Structure 1
Amino acid sequence: MDTEDSFAFNERVIELVDGVIPIMYEYEVSYANHPKRLPTIPIPMNMNKIQYEENKLGKKLTVFHGLNRYGFKGTRHVEEAFDYLSKKYPNDLELIIDGKMPLNEYLEVMQRTNVVIDQMYSHSLGVNGVYALAMGKIVMGGAEPESLKSLGVESSPVINLQPNAQSIIDEVENLLEKRNQISDLGYQSRIFAEQVHGHTKVAQQYIETWGKH
């Protein structure tokens, strides 16, 4: 389906619904001038099914970037940053770029990770980033002011990245200087996930929105 066909299909679907509820800033701005656009409601995540464990730092700070849609997620920037960091801090960092693995293997890698790098080109977090927050990981990715406003929050534990390798290098080096704060930062991630993305709270927002429209 090409771009014109996709747009036409989208328009037909919108004709059938009473309103369009964005799940993040990117969708919100895409429908900015559409009369059926409703307030943004965050991605829901069932916190009862995601185990939180203290984010403990071992001998090395482990940083993970899931390999998926190479150009879309900005993986080349991560590769460039990891190449530099691995040479400068061989005894302090474990840097992992991997993907296309069974879910159980992917979650095992996530479980032993301290830091997860999500998308480089996004203003917001996707499902993978929210899942990592719920696990208690320190997440780097999209947390632009526009995104926070869209979610209805003033601040976020997500470390906002710019789409370049130097941004990653700076933030990872900053975390190395905050080794004793890793556990607390991971706990803040979980609390934010519960407060903003918890499935029951999100469901209540849907109920309230439907009640108004």
Structure 2
Amino acid sequence: MKILMIGEFSGFYKNLKKGFELQGHDVILMASGDGWKRIEGADILIDSNWPYFLGKIHKRIQIIFSLIKLSRFDVALIVNPNIGLSLISKLFSFILKLKSKKIILSACGTDLEYLKYGEQNKFDYWPYDVNKPKLSKIIHKNILDSVNFIIPTFYDYAEPWRQSIYSKNVLTTIPLPIDTDSIKPFFPKDEGKIIFFHGLNREDFKGTRYIENALLNIEKEFNHEIEVVIDGKMPLNVYLELVKKVDVVLDQCKVYSFASMNSLYSMSLGKVIMSGYREECKKEYNIESELPGVLHIEPSVEQIESQLRYIIKNKHKLRSWGKINRQYVENFHDVKTIASRYITLFEKNSIC
């Protein structure tokens, strides 16, 4: 099967591409590297040194000209429906339909349906209680009119799409993939201080002020037992080297589902993680086994502090929890497993 992938989401498409290729499929990834994360692996790199707004337009034009040069694909996957200006989005949709038999939207980033759902107060809490982005309804419609199916990656994105006018096009949620074969685990150590880490990236979105305040309060209380590292906005390879040295990774506290790419990288490295882990997430992913190394946190300093104290009290269990996390991602998020689920879904819905 010939597969075209456009965009990136913290390494999602890079890892999924690897899974498809291991299945014997011909894959082209067109991506920018996801900004300062500098994610490698794109076959066609979309980049620009132009100033902010002009740079965005320049990259959209690069996508269109690159599409024109490519042959026809069986299926195209795109990460985000917000492609440039109205005219550019229409042109993009037109050319993509000419070049692909079927077009699939990966519902995994901020889009109009997600924002509408949150604005209607249907989440108990969500990342955009402040600094909500403005997205174009026209561009959204231009892109969605060309999309055949939508495949969510989290409950947080799946439910808004299931409640939208595009609900009939929403397929089964498939979790994000991670190439576990390429990642050696570094499990929490048995001795010394527990090292907690929170990565700075979209601080309002991830709830950094709650996490940071909780960490600093606990550090004062247990200063001889823990170490706190708060850092971020670094290339992915540098970030992963840092994660190797810590024991517990606090990802984000304003979401329902834990399995972001950041959490999956951390779990693959054998780390304990703290993120959203609500019942909705367990049901969406059909999680039946216990995951003691995934601790649920919410946008509440007191609730996060309570979970941090629980970890400190159970320091002797961190290594075994890290091993359970590693085994979980090997079983349910490995690139080969996830790619197989996509191919099965394609076949079931006559996409290939």
Query: More strand by proportion, 1 or 2?
Result: 2
Structure 1 CA distance for aligned equivalents of residues 283 and 236 of structure 2: 32
Pick from 168, 187, 194: which aligns with 1:54? 187
Give the structure 2 partner of residue 24 of structure 1. 154
Size of the aligned set, in residue pairs, is 212
1:167, distance to aligned residue in structure 2 (A): 1.8
Give the structure 1 partner of residue 99 of structure 2. none
Task: Give runs of aligned pairs for residues 1-213 of structure 1, distance below 5 A.
Answer: 3-5=134-136, 7-33=137-163, 34-125=167-258, 126-155=260-289, 156=291, 157-213=293-349
1:4, distance to aligned residue in structure 2 (A): 4.9
Aligned residues of 1:14 and 1:20 also touching (Cα < 8 A): no
Identity %: 31
Aligned residues of 2:251 and 2:262 also touching (Cα < 8 A): yes
- Flag structure 2 segments of 5+ consecutive residues without an equivalent: 1-83, 85-132
- Flag structure 1 segments of 5+ consecutive residues without an equivalent: none
Structure 1 CA distance for aligned equivalents of residues 348 and 171 of structure 2: 10
The CA RMSD over aligned residues, in Å, is 1.6
CA deviations 1:93-117 (Å, max 9, x no partner) are: 0011111234443223211110000
Change (3 A) 1:88 1:118: same
Aligned residues of 1:54 and 1:187 also touching (Cα < 8 A): yes
Structure 1 CA distance for aligned equivalents of residues 281 and 254 of structure 2: 13
CA deviations 1:62-90 (Å, max 9, x no partner) are: 00000111111111011211221111111
Structure 2 CA distance for aligned equivalents of residues 148 and 130 of structure 1: 16
Structure 2 CA distance for aligned equivalents of residues 4 and 163 of structure 1: 25
TM-score of the superposed pair, with normalisation by structure 1: 0.93
1:201, distance to aligned residue in structure 2 (A): 0.6
Give the 3-state SS of the residue equivalent to 1:44 in structure 2. coil
Give the 3-state SS of the residue equivalent to 2:288 in structure 1. coil
Query: Which structure's relative contact order is higher, taking Cα pairs within 8 Å and 6+ residues apart?
Result: 1
Aligned residues of 1:54 and 1:183 also touching (Cα < 8 A): yes
TM-score of the superposed pair, with normalisation by structure 2: 0.57
Amino acid paired to 2:152: P
Give the 3-state SS of the residue equivalent to 1:21 in structure 2. strand
Give the 3-state SS of the residue equivalent to 1:193 in structure 2. helix
